[in-house]
Amino acid sequence: MLKKRTGWSRSRTVRLGILLTIISFLVSLAVTQALAAGYVGSPGNIRGVKPVHRTGAPPIVVPQIKLPSINPRQFSGTTATKKKTDYAIGAGDVLAIKVYDHEELTVKVRVSETGTIDFPLIGAVHVGGLGITGAAERIEKALADGYIVEPQVTIFIEQFKSKKVVVLGPVHNPGLVELNGPITLLELLSQVGGLKDNAGQIATIKRQENGAQKKIAIDLDRLIKNGDIQQNIQIQGGDTVSIAEGAVCFVTGEVNQPGEYPCSRNATILKVISLAGSFTEKALESGIKINRTVNGVKRVVQNVDQDTIVQPDDVIIVPERTVSKEEEKLCFVSGEVSRPGAYPCSGNTSILKLLTRAGGFTEKALESGIEINRQVNGSKRVLKAVSKDTLLLPEDVVIVPASFAKKTAKEA
């Protein structure tokens, strides 16, 4: 009995192995036929699986083979990357919206006053206050809810109508400015006509961020004169840009247009007076005074030269002459100076002061050879100038000769 049972078991095992081999072959054949028939990954079956039926074989479920999708917004310029300063969409903006592989959904829409747009299939969508990326994601989510599988939305802003900024201070066209697109501080200043002469060094930008006001100080000298692009920040809708007033000086007395004038660094009295329309016929040019405040104390600086550097808030006073020009005491300078001629000559006028009024030496001047022609008791005398601090007398003639060596070298 044992031998018969053992022999039967071995025979049964062999037959079972053959049967399993046949079944395995049939299963493989069915899978191959299903793939060849194109059931896997067909457009009508993206969300699930496809049962494959063949006569004489059990139903076989073939799982979906899913390839990685490509987001077209990865290649769409500024709409692809969500920046820290992603433009916030607002009422009046015109949006150009595209849905990848769905040309029928390409539209241009204007954002309503309530911040919504009307989009095919899904109707009203609120995009006001969202960045470009956020708005695209909101439309994608709505389309994916029963309309399109994995929609890819791209948004471009064709017209910027919702953003306005205010520009205040010494610019040529201050006031409200509508932004037509992204704009930098330099571009904004150009749009309002540029800075006036009395513009200061600092521009302050006031901006609302997270419910709080933020102030950004910009050094205009570094931006404009030095080309520091880090100062050329992006302007946002709702910003208020305030340009500081620059330093000023005041001119009063015998000038054609008394008043307040820009007092830039290294500005001279002569430059400020030229802004005031220059001297009148009655002006005593040699008697200019400056009222200046130093450490809270007011000082009067008398008889200053026209090349003196002014300081902020200086008051320049040009007095009226007490005698006519014909009666005024004059000294004369000739030779190698920039502006030879007659100049007022009071009792404390030195050679150096007279030469400064005459514009200084030329390149040919022999500074050590200065001579003074002076009338003494009715006779003319020629004096050698020992020092430039030598005081002059009315009617003195200061002569600055040319240096022969300098002249020869230049002509050669």
User: 286: pLDDT confidence band, cut at 50, 70 and 90?
Assistant: confident
**The Cα angle at residue 259 between residues 296 and 240, in degrees rounded to 5:** 80
DSSP type of residue 77:
G
Contact, 337 vs 360, CB < 8 A? yes
Q: Rg of the chain over CA atoms, in angstroms?
A: 45
- Token pair 């030469």 is found at 355
- Averaged pLDDT of the chain: 80
Determine the Cα–Cα distance for residues 103 and 105; give it in Å rounded to an integer.
Answer: 5
Q: What is residue 317's predicted lDDT score, i.e. its pLDDT? A: 94
The pTM for the full model equals 0.44
3-state secondary structure of 274: helix
315-318, strands of its sheet edge to edge = 259-262, 248-253, 315-318, 289-294, 297-301
Q: How much is the average pLDDT of 288-295?
A: 90
Please write the tens of the pLDDT for every residue from 206-215.
Answer: 998 878 899 9
Q: Do residues 273 and 199 lie in contact, with contact meaning Cβ atoms separated by under 8 Å? A: no
d(CA 283, CA 330): 15
What six digits make up the tokens of 402? 């040319």
Domain assignments of the chain as residue spans, ordered by start: 2-62, 72-159, 164-242, 248-318, 330-411
| CB proximity list for 230: less than 8 A, separation 6 or greater | none
Q: Can you give the pLDDT at residue 412?
A: 45
Cα 122 from Cα 206, distance rounded (Å): 39
In CATH terms, the fold of domain 72-159 is wza like fold (3.30.1950)
Beta strands in 19-93 (DSSP E): 50-54, 57-62
Is 233 within 8 Å of 204 (Cβ atoms)?
A: no
Q: Tens digit of pLDDT for each residue in 139-181?
A: 999 999 989 999 999 999 888 777 789 999 999 999 999 887 7
| CATH architecture type of domain 330-411 | Roll (3.10)
Q: d(Cα 169, Cα 307) in Å, to the nearest integer?
A: 30
- 248-318 has the same fold as 72-159: no
- Residue of higher predicted confidence among 122 and 347: 122
The arrangement of secondary structure in 248-318, i.e. its CATH architecture, is: Roll (3.10)
Plot region of 69 (φ>0 → left; ψ -120 to 50 → alpha; else → beta): beta
Across residues 233-239, what is the average pLDDT?
A: 88
Q: What is the pLDDT of residue 5?
A: 45
pLDDT tens digit string along 357-373? 888 899 999 989 999 99
| pLDDT tens, position by position, 172-182 | 999 999 887 77
The whole-angstrom separation of Cα 187 and Cα 231 is: 12
Which pLDDT score is estimated for 321? 80
Cα dihedral 264, 270, 271, 277 sign = positive
Q: What is the pLDDT of residue 287?
A: 83
The closest alpha carbon to 175, from 162, 188, 161, belongs to: 188
Average the pLDDT over each of 30-39, 249-258, 269-278, 313-322 and give the range with the smallest value: 30-39
Q: How far is CA 395 from CA 313, 360, 409, in A?
A: 37, 20, 35
164-242 belongs to which homologous superfamily? Outer membrane lipoprotein wza domain like (3.10.560.10)
Residues in Cβ contact with 140 at an 8 Å cutoff, skipping those fewer than 6 apart: 151, 152, 153
